Amino acid sequence: MQPVIDLSPKVSDEVRRTTCYMCACRCGINVHMKAGKVVYIEGNRDHPVNKGVLCAKGSAGIMQVNAPSRLRAPLKRVGPRGSGEFEEISWDEALQIATGWLAPIRAKNPEKLAFFTGRDQSQSFTSYWAQNFGTPNYAAHGGFCSVNMAAAGIYTMGGAFWEFGQPDWDHTKLFMLFGVAEDHDSNPIKMGIGKIKARGARVIGVNPIRTGYNAVADDWVGITPGTDGLFILSMIHVLMKAGRIDLDYLARYTNAPVLVNGDPKSPEFGLFLRDDAGKELVIDRATGKLTPFDHPGVRPDLAATHRAGGITHRPVFHQMADLYLDPQYAPEAVAERCGIAASRIRAIASELARVAFDEAFELDREWTDFRGETHKTMTGRPVSFHAMRGISAHANGFQTCRALHVLQILLGTVEVPGGFRFKPPYPKPATAHPKPHCKVTPGAPLDGPHLGFVQGPEDLALKDDGTPARIDKAFTWDNPMSAHGLMHMVISNAHAGDPYKIDTLFMYMANMSWNSSMNTRGVIDMLTDRGDDGEYVIPRIIYSDAYSSEMVAYADLVLPDTTYLERHDCISLLDRPICEADAAADAIRWPVIEPDRDVRGFQSVLCDLGARLGLPGFANEDGSATYADYADYIVNHQRRPGIGPLAGFRGDGTQAGRGDPNPDQLNRYIANGGFFVTHVPDAAAYYKPWNTAYQDWAVGIGLCDKPQPYLFQIYVEPMRRFQRAAEGHGDRQPPDHLRDRIKATMSPLPIWHETDQTGNDGFPVHALTQRPMAMYHSWGSQNAWLRQLHGHNPLYLPTRLMRENDLKDGDWARVTSPHGEITVPVLEMTALNENTVWTWNAIGKRKGAWALEPDAPEATRGFLLNHLIHELLPPKGDGLRWSNSDPITGQAAWFDLKVSIAKTTPPQESLPAFDPIKSPVGTGPKTLRWKVGP
Amino acid sequence: MTQLPAHTDKKLGLVIDLDTCVGCHACVISCKGWNTENYGAPLSDQDPYGAAPSGTFLNRVHSYEMQPDHGAAQLAHFPKSCLHCEDAPCVTVCPTGASYKRVEDGIVLVNESDCIGCGLCAWACPYGARELDAAEGVMKKCTLCVDRIYNENLAPEDREPACVRTCPAGARHFGDLGDPDSAVSQLVDRRGGMDLMPEQGTRPVNKYLPPRPKDRLHETDVLAPFLAPVAEDPKGFFAWLDKTLEKR
């Protein structure tokens, strides 16, 4: 007899629907509860991001909210920095300490506060706080993550990948992806690949390492790191030479026909010909006359030149032909450097063109463009692309990302059926974003938003004496278009007093003394260094984190945050929303469980701190707090009249986008599954930058206040303005030592340049990290389930390097870079570029952190490549500090690392080994049996 | 010795698509979560924050590199759990009758109250699909989420194994492989689904869909439209451009 079993057990008492935060993907989750405790987490089927699925991280959230690494109460440092000696204090004392430090700074020198917020999903809020404090020194982590991708996309076409847009998964037939960071965008990319493969569409993966998405790609291109731009420009060469480009698209929707001053003697050389209203001019093919690009009915001419005032003006398209038809970009000329056979470059280019043009299709949807022309159908070009950190974290990453966007544009695949589609609030051109602001007034707010998109030298964040206004030197001649700041330079610059000294370093969710910094040992030394007076060189450090990360030990004051299931958050359209190409959407987190510790959501703490400091926007005239907590802010803050952090259920609860604050808004979100979604009308679904129906819809829901159609900027004129300054024109001039670099790198058309190889002689091997799909930065290792998947990280070597160095699996190797040395275990991998080694990112842990036992494999065999990478390039003998960053955006060039490898005798543990830090939370239990129900 | 049923009404099982599995481990952890809270003893973890963390998992993903005769090496992700074999050696070896195969759907289960933790079944399983829980001392294995697939407390669309519901790439499919008209049977037909280690004679119900051939683009190169140059230099290009634009 078979046993009788209960086939319908009770699953839960209640399901609470909120938003995941196990990585940056922001999926909807159903949190199953029994007796007030979390028993199971699954994906929310109704959610626009994940549609029910959930990754390993998301399902392991239950082990994150019970993690022994959770901080328990505010901490005040009582031992030396780095010792981990703390005492627990009350929130009142913690906030008094913070106020006592910050109030005098604000009154006298607001710039002495550097506030950087790491993996922050509330940047529109934290930046608002910093702006009202008055410091220019604010940014999140984009500078060491993917600013090249974001900025290149916005400058080129008004958006990039991930949060900005996505492939048209329903129609694409060929999907090509370049070096990806898996959490951008985690589940949607997996879902998309599964979906297109199920219907026979194909995937091409370009990555030195064949894992994950590249493992399932139909074709894998194991490119040499840092040469993606060269590969892309070679495909552009081939496609232009064969005439396999979308001339109609280029003429209508891009600045390819815009006329450029061609006289080297003119001060306007390389700048656009504009009319008195500042509009770019083209030649109208119908009339042959000079006409503003957006004139009703104009048919811009890609070929015609224009002579005026003795100066020949040529369309951008002419310059593209001059540049890209040059034999330097021929497949044969680039093949060796890229590690891709010339015939393969041609085959891939040919296939892109074949699918884009020979498999073109029409959607039977009428639409009207911004010039008033109505089109009966929408033409599909079913080729789509995706890329992320792999191509952006190089010092040539900005131009590489630009090149990829130009490739998409030449094929006519952006914002068309089957191609790449923007997600609201994008498309949004660079000119519709703020410019950076840096004017400091003691006791008053900054003069505007910190971060933005410069249009020329006049927008740089420089003081009157020409020195950098910001501690991270963002928006300076070193890196003029640093749209996300340079978080990786803050500690280094603050320690060096370059450009000036600060008083308080305030950070949130950024493990800067470990895996989030280059030169980890050096950063630890900077954080603990004392001056001649015996005081710390960086006088005060406030840090907020939910967990006992490596950074906690280096703070003087620790503000313990909640876990993601214990807090309010908003994933806002003002910030980095969760929209899909067919819908605007935003979401909340809400406390599905209450903290069992004396911890508070960081954003609520900022509301309190802002009130105590009397910050405009946070304190009322009578000194009382404007917002009781972050939830109060989310509901009641208005950025512009009727526009708040959340777009859904405004006013009487029926209004979307615009409307008065609705006191019941959060309850409406909770009842709706934690999110709000409003769909883009069918006629507005494609051609969004130029589609009248989309523009009107965007105004209607408050994404913008007036229609803002624009041309894709194949030629980025602001870059030319910086070059022009470097050539000696204009009032604001770069320092002489940067002139040549600016001229060489800031080409207004995408180019490829070799990254700075100073010091790399003798280091022939590329070294990379990848993030495992089941881990998010350093956060995963505290998770009892996830660390069983990735508990240590060998260095993977290609077969060639294993043989050359007489290495076998399990042997140890000394890995040396121009900056440092590590000794680590190795493992052979064949599906790998033959001159590249790699490891999983952020698995290595410091003993004592994350509530792990000191002998945890993460701390004994795990390791970081960060020890090999410096935030500065090796000294060039000129006495200058050259940042290891993209010279255009300042993006940290993590993936420019070059190393040498040598077999060595196995040490006791991975080297360098660090002293343990004292854990403020102890270590975890010896056994887990996490069952709540009977 | 425990007897297998002569016939099962259904052959419920999984079809796992090795062409789309990206190796993300979503199925592994979703399974761990559901089965820690649900059927039988929780899946425990020993030394979860220490030197040698070791927990019970009913489903694990392995990765294998393959070097074809020609072309680049490949990597396949291979999720593995109980295959609910028709001739399940884990059942016939069980000395207490704790391991059994259900007549109604073919699911192989362990009745934990009869399991003495002797481990014979794990030894008999050629796939290594059973794990003895170190805390409870009973054998754990994939239940095909028997407490989900018929569960009237779940919405009908959720009555599928946790691993299938969560798989982001859609690489896991669930259904009756005994019914030739079922979606999973047809998928197996269409994609050439395979048995794992058929030589073991276990007649697994679960099937694997093989990866499609890879790195074929260069082979189709000559068939693709030739990228015939329209020009060799900018001058020629502009001439082509003028000519092309004239035609519009």
User: Which helix (H) or strand (E) is A33 found in, with range?
Assistant: strand A28-34
Averaged pLDDT, A767-771: 95
Nearest 5°: the CA angle A841, A842, A844 is 115
Domain count within chain B: 1
> Is B94 inside any structural domain?
yes
Query: pLDDT tens across A219-246, in order?
Result: 999 999 999 999 999 999 999 999 999 9
Q: Does B168 touch chain A (CB under 8 A)?
A: yes
Interatomic CA distance for residues A755 and A463, integer angstroms: 29
B133 falls within a domain: yes
A811 contact partners, CB below 8 Å, separation of at least 6 = A825, A826, A903, A906
Interface contact B217-A830, CB threshold 8 A: no
Residue pLDDT, tens place only, B86-126: 999 999 999 999 999 999 999 999 999 999 999 999 999 99
CA distance A645 to chain B (A): 30
DSSP for A789-826 reads TSS--PEEEEHHHHHHTT--TT-EEEEE-SS-EEEEEE
Q: Could you tell me if residue B236 is inside a domain? A: no
Amino acid at A790: H
Give the pLDDT score at A62. Answer: 97
Closest CA of chain A from B82, distance in Å: 19
d(CA A764, CA A874): 16
pLDDT tens-digit map of A370-423: 999 999 999 999 999 999 889 999 999 999 999 999 999 999 999 999 999 999
Please, what's the largest Cα pairwise distance for chain A? 100
Is B116 inside any structural domain?
yes
pTM: 0.97
Question: Which residue from B minimizes the CA distance to A828?
Answer: B65
Q: How far is CA A57 from the centre of its chain?
A: 20
What value does the CA radius of gyration of chain A take, rounded to a whole number of Å? 27
CA distance B230 to chain A (A): 5
Q: Does A491 touch chain B (CB under 8 A)?
A: no
pLDDT in tens, B52-73: 999 999 999 999 999 999 899 9
pLDDT at A838 over 50: yes
CB-based contact (8 Å) between A349 and chain B?
yes
Q: Which are the contacts of B238, defined by CB distance < 8 A and separation ≥ 6?
A: A303, A318, A321
3-state secondary structure A541-596: EEEEECECCHHHHHCCEEEECCCCCCCCEEECCCCCCCCECCEEEEEEECCCCCCC
What is the 3 state secondary structure string of A695-750? HHHHHHCCCCCCCCCCCECCCCHHHHHHHHHHCCCCCCCCCHHHHHHHHHHCCCCC
Residue B226 lies in a domain: no
Q: Please say if the pLDDT value at position B220 is more than 60.
A: no
Residue A1 has pLDDT above 80, yes or no: no
Q: Does residue B193 fall inside a structural domain?
A: yes
In the CATH scheme, what is the code of domain A75-149+434-560? 3.40.50.740
Give B139-177 pLDDT, tens digit per residue: 999 999 999 999 999 999 999 999 999 999 999 999 999
The dihedral sign for the CA sequence A829, A832, A838, A840: negative
Q: Which of B20, B216, B245 shows the shortest C-beta gap to A303?
A: B245
Residue A367 has pLDDT above 60, yes or no: yes
Q: Name the band, by pLDDT with cuts 50, 70 and 90, for residue A777.
A: confident
Whether B140 contacts B129, CB under 8 Å:
no
Q: What is the ipTM of this complex?
A: 0.97
Q: Which residues on chain A are in Cβ contact (under 8 Å) with B26?
A: 53-56, 58-59
Residue A925 at interface with chain B, using a CB cutoff of 8 Å: yes
What is the percentage of chain B residues whose pLDDT exceeds 70? 96
Using alpha carbons only, what angle is made at residue A145 by residues A144 and A150, rounded to the nearest 5 degrees?
Answer: 120
- Residue among A358, A333, A370, A106 nearest A238 (CA): A333
User: Rounded distance, CA A766 to CA B125, Å?
Assistant: 43
**Which residue ranges make up each domain of chain A?**
75-149+434-560, 160-426, 765-904
Work out the average pLDDT over A822-839. Answer: 98
Q: Is the pLDDT of residue B224 over 70?
A: no
Mean pLDDT across chain A: 96
Residues 843-882 of chain A whose Cβ lies under 8 A from any Cβ of chain B: 851-853, 855-857, 860
- pLDDT at position A934 is 82
Measured on CA atoms in the order A127, A133, A136, A140, is the torsion positive or negative? negative
Interface of A with B in 35-74 (CB under 8 A): 39-43, 45, 50, 52-60, 62, 68
CB contact under 8 A, B212 and A215: no
Q: Classify A654 as helix, strand or coil.
A: coil
C-alpha A848/C-alpha A916 separation (Å) is 5
The CATH code of domain A160-426 reads 3.40.228.10
- In this prediction, residue B222 carries a pLDDT of 47
Q: Collapsing DSSP states into helix, strand and coil, what is residue A845?
A: coil
Residue B223 pLDDT > 60: no
Neighboring chain B residues of A929 at a CB cutoff of 8 Å: 36, 41-42, 44-45, 135-136
Interface test with A, best of B3, B8, B12, B25 (most A CBs within 10 A): B25
For B60, other C-beta atoms within 10 Å of its C-beta total 18
Number of CB atoms found within 10 A of residue A828's CB:
18
The total of other beta-carbon atoms located within 10 Å of residue A289's CB is 13
At A880 the pLDDT is 92
3-state helix, strand, coil in chain B (%, to 5): 25, 20, 55
| B contact test, residue of A928, A931, A932 with most B CBs within 10 A | A928
Kindly give the pairing relationship between strand A583-589 and strand A569-571. antiparallel
Q: B244 lies in a domain?
A: no
Contact state of B42 with A929 under an 8 Å Cβ cutoff: yes
Domain extent, residue B187, equals 12-219
**Fold of the A765-904 domain:** Barwin-like endoglucanases (2.40.40)
Quick check: A1 contacting B, CB < 8 Å? no
Q: Which residues contact A887 (CB under 8 A, 6 or more apart)?
A: A395, A478, A479, A741, A742, A745, A746
The residues, ordered by sequence, that sit 6+ positions from A147 with a Cβ below 8 Å of its Cβ are A392, A482, A483, A484, A889, A890, A891
Full 3-state SS string of A439-503: CCCCCCCCCCCCCCCCCCHHHCCECCCCCECCCCCCCECCECCCCCCCHHHHHHHHHHCCCCCCC
Residue of B nearest to A849 (CA): B49
Q: Are B103 and A852 a contacting pair at CB < 8 A?
A: no
Tell the residue number behind the tokens 């806002």, with chain if given: A572
Find, among A57, A61, A79, A73, the residue nearest to A18 by Cα.
A61
> Chain A contact for B92, CB < 8 A?
no
Q: Say yes or no: A244 contacts chain B, CB-CB below 8 A.
A: yes
Query: Could you tell me which residues come within 8 angstroms of residue A113 by beta carbon, excluding any fewer than 6 positions away?
Result: A102, A105, A106, A133, A135, A137, A502, A503, A504, A506
The answer, for A774 touching chain B at a CB cutoff of 8 Å, is: yes
How many CB atoms sit inside 10 A of residue B13's CB?
28
Looking at chain A, the whole-number percentage of residues with pLDDT higher than 90 is 96
Contacts of B56 in chain A (CB under 8 A): none
Residues of A in contact with B25 (CB under 8 A): 55-56, 773-774, 789
Closest-CA distance, A245 to chain B, in angstroms, reads 11
Is residue B17 situated within a structural domain? yes
C-alpha span between A207 and A759 (Å, rounded):
25
Report pLDDT for B225: 57
Spatial distance between the Cα atoms of A892 and A3, rounded to a whole number of angstroms: 61
Interface contact A212-B24, CB threshold 8 A: yes
- Closest residue in B to A326 (Cα) is B233
- Residue B219 is predicted with a pLDDT of 60
Q: A770 near A760, Cβ under 8 Å?
A: no
State the angle between helix axes of A397-410 and A228-241 in degrees (0 to 180), rounded to the nearest 10: 30
pLDDT in the model for residue A180: 78
Cβ-based neighbour number of residue A857 at 10 Å? 23
B-chain residue closest to A928, CA distance: B45
- The beta-carbon neighbor of A220 closest among B39, B45, B72 is B72
Per-residue pLDDT at B226: 66
Residue A854 has what pLDDT? Answer: 95
CATH number of residue B96's parent domain: 3.30.70.20
- Tell me the pLDDT tens digit for each residue of A144-171: 888 999 999 999 999 999 889 999 999 9
CA distance from start to end of chain A: 25
Q: What is the rounded average pLDDT of the residues A687-693?
A: 98
Integer Cα distance of A595 and A602 in angstroms: 13
For B49, the closest of A191, A242, A784 (CB atoms) is A784
Beta strands A28-34 and A37-43: pairing type? antiparallel
Are the C-beta atoms of residues A214 and A204 closer than 8 Å to each other?
no
